[in-house]
């Protein structure tokens, strides 16, 4: 028997307009497959005069967000407006009225996801958010459902297309950050104000969301250690490349198997060219999941853009509609505030580049600092000669605090011209 489910959509921008078009194009196929006919009943926007090319009648649109969620004809609410307020209150109210909600809003989930999950659970309806992390890539549902019985060790993702585009161009063209950012802005891959992307805020929000789901933990954006890509230089990338690595901005959530402390962090990292994440180029996203029994999994695809994101939203809407008609809803589980590992207490291998004076005894002073701080060296080499000599080290697994102490100690040496930064290395 065919049943109708009517949608109220908050926001009709990039994702919202693509979503409305997909629903209209695919409603009959979806009805044939699921027995549910979806229709767009109401859409809320800020500016009624803006052309959206959705084919919907003008009477469907409103500037009154609350009117949309309260309309008794609306069965399922689809939140595609973004931002924390007023989205938070509207979603809680919609759930309270027994209306399932689908959202793509990572900023909101990373701020108050656990509160919203609780509201959905109390109301006994769905709150689904596949599109909030890595856009069109189906990754949250596998984590939430297929991998429910799997103790996850680490989730590691390239979840920001803008920074991956910039780092790919820097790697493949040897270009500097500034020049590539301008090109990315011209091509529409980066915003006029790129801060949210290049400083890692967007990736940190996504990291908080996937860490919550992967580890049943209450993680917010503020819990995530964050470094962006603005200090990555063409020279760092060239060294990495020569040593068999590419530099990627990674969002990492990792549980210590003994203490169960959670490390959540976003930072540039050197990934061996043999690792599956190394081949993720341009604006593509990928998430690499490591579990106890399942081993390694990788989810790859378009992490943003109106259509891919709308596709993930539509999948959630169909699930929510089917569940609504069956009187059931997806289980989100419990979310406990974990103990977080401070970045100083994390362990990694590190690449360090040091510009030093070309004189005898330099290497002895440097290795003395490493030894004093208990950091052992995996590889050491000199790049260039004379005035342009640089020493390049990769450490063995070391504690971050000890490596940072080495950098402070190097700066005190009189043979040091410039103590370059360091890049964490993801082990082979």
> Nearest distance from residue 131's CB to ligand NAP, in Å?
5
Task: Tell me how many residues contact ligand NAP (CB under 6 A).
Answer: 24
- First vs last Cα of the chain: how many Å apart? 54
For position 309 contacting ligand NAP by CB under 6 A, the verdict is: yes
Cβ–Cβ under 8 Å, residues 44 and 81: yes
Q: What angle do CA 298, 299, 302 make, to 5 degrees?
A: 140
By the rule CB under 6 A, 302 interacts with ligand NAP: no
Burial bucket for residue 272 (CB in 10 Å: 0-12, 13-18, 19+): middle
Binding to ligand NAP by residue 135, rule CB under 6 A? yes
Distance in angstroms (rounded) separating the CA atoms of residues 123 and 332 = 13
- Considering only 40, 101, 266, 304, the residue that binds ligand NAP (CB under 6 A) is 304
Q: Shortest Cβ contact with ligand NAP: which residue?
A: 13
Distance, CA of 136 to CA of 395 (rounded, Å): 37
> Measured from the CB of residue 3, what is the shortest distance to ligand NAP in angstroms?
28
User: Torsions phi, psi of 306, nearest 5?
Assistant: -55, -55
| Catalytic site residue from 99, 206, 339, 372 | 206
The two tokens of residue 49 are: 């005069």
Q: Which stretch binds ligand NAP (CB under 6 A): 28-36, 99-107, 334-342, 420-428?
A: 99-107
104 is a site residue for ligand NAP (CB under 6 A):
yes
Task: Mark the segment that binds ligand NAP (CB under 6 A) among 44-52, 243-251, 285-293, 322-330.
Answer: 44-52
Q: Which is nearer to ligand NAP, 135 or 228 (CB)?
A: 135
DSSP line for 217-261: B---GGGSEE--STT--HHHHHHHHHTTEEEEEEEEEEE-TTT--
Nearer to ligand NAP, 106 or 275 (CB): 106
Is 99 annotated as catalytic?
Answer: no
In the bound state with ligand NAP, the residue whose beta carbon lies nearer, of 12 and 416, is: 12
Rounded Cα gap, residues 64 and 46, in angstroms:
8
Considering only CA atoms, which of 257, 223, 250, 298 is closest in space to residue 151?
257
Contacts of residue 8, defined as CB under 8 A and 6 or more positions apart, other chains included, come to: 41, 42, 43, 44, 68, 69, 71, 74, 76, 77, 78, 99
**Shortest Cβ 51–ligand NAP spacing (Å):** 10
Q: Which is nearer to ligand NAP, 131 or 403 (CB)?
A: 131
Residues 10-39 that bind ligand NAP (CB under 6 A): 11-16
Nearer to ligand NAP by Cβ, of 201 and 245: the residue is 201
As annotated, the active-site residues are: 206
Per CB under 6 A, residues contacting ligand NAP are 11-16, 44-47, 50, 63, 65, 80-82, 104-106, 131, 135, 304-305, 309
């Amino acid at each position: 028997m065919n049943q109708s489910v009517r949608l109220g959509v908050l926001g009709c921008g990039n994702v919202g307009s693509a979503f409305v078009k997909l629903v209209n194009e695919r409603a009959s196929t979806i009805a044939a497959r699921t027995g549910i006919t979806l229709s767009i009943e109401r859409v809320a926007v800020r500016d009624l005069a803006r052309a959206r090319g959705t084919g919907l009648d003008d009477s469907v649109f409103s500037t009154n967000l609350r009117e949309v969620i309260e309309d008794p004809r609306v069965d399922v609410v689809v939140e595609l407006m973004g931002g924390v307020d007023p989205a938070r209150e509207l979603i809680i109210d919609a759930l309270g009225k027994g209306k399932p909600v689908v959202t793509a809003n990572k900023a909101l989930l990373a701020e108050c996801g656990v509160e919203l999950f609780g509201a959905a659970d109390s109301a006994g309806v769905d709150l689904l958010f596949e599109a909030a992390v890595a856009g069109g890539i189906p990754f949250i549902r596998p984590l939430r459902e297929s991998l429910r019985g799997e103790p996850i060790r680490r989730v590691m993702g390239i979840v920001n297309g803008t920074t991956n585009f910039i780092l790919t161009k820097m790697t493949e063209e040897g270009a500097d950050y500034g020049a590539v950012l301008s090109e990315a802005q011209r091509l529409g891959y980066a915003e006029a104000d790129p801060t949210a992307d290049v400083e890692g805020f967007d990736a940190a929000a996504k990291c908080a969301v996937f860490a919550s789901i992967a580890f049943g933990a209450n993680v917010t954006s503020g819990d995530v250690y964050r470094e962006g890509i603005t200090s990555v230089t063409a020279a760092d990338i060239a060294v990495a490349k020569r040593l068999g690595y590419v530099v990627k901005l990674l969002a990492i959530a990792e549980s210590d198997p003994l203490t169960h402390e959670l490390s959540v962090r976003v930072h540039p990292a050197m990934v061996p060219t043999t690792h599956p994440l190394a081949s993720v180029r341009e604006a593509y996203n990928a998430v690499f999941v490591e579990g106890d029994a399942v081993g390694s999994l990788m989810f790859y695809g378009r992490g943003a853009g109106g259509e891919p994101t709308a596709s993930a939203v539509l999948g959630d809407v169909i699930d929510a509609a089917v569940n609504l008609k069956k009187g059931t809803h997806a289980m989100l589980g419990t979310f406990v505030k974990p103990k977080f590992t401070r970045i100083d207490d994390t362990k990694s291998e590190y690449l360090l580049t040091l510009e030093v004076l070309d004189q005898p005894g330099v290497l002895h002073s440097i290795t003395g600092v490493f030894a004093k701080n208990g950091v052992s060296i995996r590889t050491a080499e000199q790049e260039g000669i004379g005035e342009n000599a640089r020493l390049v080290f990769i450490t063995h697994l070391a504690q971050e605090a000890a490596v940072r102490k080495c950098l402070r100690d190097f700066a005190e040496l009189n043979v040091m011209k410039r103590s370059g930064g360091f890049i964490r290395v993801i082990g082979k």
